[in-house]
Structure 1
Amino acid sequence: MGRRDYAILLLLAKLGLRADEVATLTLDDIDWRASEILVRAKGRQRARMPIPPDVGAAIVAYLRSGRPKSSCRRLFVRTLAPHIGFASGCAITMIAKAALDRVGIERCAHRGAHIFRHSLATELLRSGATLSEIGQLLRHENHDTTRIYAKVDIDALRTLSLPWPGGVQ
């Protein structure tokens, strides 16, 4: 996997960015001093998000020795000429699907870039984050949208269950 794709996958997995949000990032969106990235979210909203150290390191590695020389201000550009930014999030989704194929994940409900966002939300929920906190990170305007990620965790429920009266025969 190349440096560009690795940095893209980390943005999807660690920050829960949408494919379109990654595709539209520009070089000017990164504030290295503050370790923040400006994300253009749904509905013309903008959000400043912290850049985790591993994500920052991956972006730096891509910029220093993976990104082709280009006058394009988009953070991620095509590897083949012309070296321009992606037209939409479709290219990001294809990068995510290719990564899933490489590790043998073929059948899942959220195939593509969104599986990383969904996995982040599920892991945060299992780690004790509230739906409100998760919704804030994922930049959901409506709390009902965040509830989609509150799937039943059977293993977690088993630890809470009481023994059946009379036991299992």
Structure 2
Amino acid sequence: RKPRRGYAIVRCALDMGLRAGEIANLSIDDIDWREGTVTMKGTKSRRQDILPLPMATGQALADYLQHERPANPSRALFFCRRESRDIPVTTHAVQNVIRRACRRVGLPDSGSHLLRHTLACRLVENGSSLKEVADVLRHRSLETTRIYAKLDTPSLAEVALPWPGSES
């Protein structure tokens, strides 16, 4: 079990909206620690994007690199152990890490796309425009972003606390 690796993977999905395949393809060379950025190559849109590296994500990555990443000549960021060898993670391995993390916090059958949706909703709730959310998620279409950023108002109403002084 690699708790630091799992935490860093989840932070990449939750804070940056990275897809499982994008996380699996990250290289140490993609991170610019001085500038606080991550360069995304070989993405779904087939273009190169430079994203800001949130502080919490950077800290999780640094912790993983310092304490858990195996010494390996490969520039791949994340590794898993297979048949007593360290190999770069696959998209499937990243999906499993995220699925297990979600299950541990009570979100059954959830994956990296749920975390992209969560980021989109969080950005909208904090005042970001749909265009800004589209830029973070690297969507070409605002319609796609609108689907991601849809708030589930009925469910939110069910978990909302009663207003102080109200009857319920």
Name the CA distance, whole Å, in 2 between partners of 1:9 and 1:152: 21
Q: CA deviation at 1:153?
A: 4.7
Q: CA deviation at 1:33?
A: 1.0
How many percent of aligned residue pairs carry the same amino acid? 38
Aligned residue in 1 for 2:150: 151
Aligned residue in 2 for 1:15: 16
Note if contact 1:72-1:83 (Cα within 8 Å) is conserved in structure 2.
Answer: no
Matching residue within 98, 101, 108 for 1:99: 101
Q: Deviations over 1:42-98 (max 9, x none)?
A: 1321111111111111111111111111112100011453212123x1111100110
Aligned residue in 1 for 2:119: 120
Gaps of 5+ in 1: 159-169
Q: TM-score, normalised by structure 1?
A: 0.83
Name the CA distance, whole Å, in 2 between partners of 1:6 and 1:152: 26
Where do 1:17-96 residues align within 5 Å? 17-40=18-41, 41-80=43-82, 81-87=84-90, 89-96=91-98
Q: TM-score, normalised by structure 2?
A: 0.84
Instruction: Give the secondary structure class of the aligned counterpart of 1:22.
Output: helix
Q: How many matched pairs?
A: 152
Gaps of 5+ in 2: 158-168
Instruction: Give the secondary structure class of the aligned counterpart of 2:51.
Output: strand
Tell me: CA distance 1:127–1:9, structure 2 relative to 1, closer, same or farther (3 Å). Answer: same
**Once superposed, which parts of structure 1, at least 4 consecutive aligned residues long, lie more than 2 Å away?**
149-155
Question: What is the root-mean-square deviation of aligned Cα atoms in Å?
Answer: 1.7
Q: Deviations over 1:89-117 (max 9, x none)?
A: 1111100110111112126xxx2111111
Where do 1:130-145 residues align within 5 Å? 130-145=129-144
Q: Deviations over 1:102-157 (max 9, x none)?
A: 112126xxx211111110001111222111110011000112111112425537xx
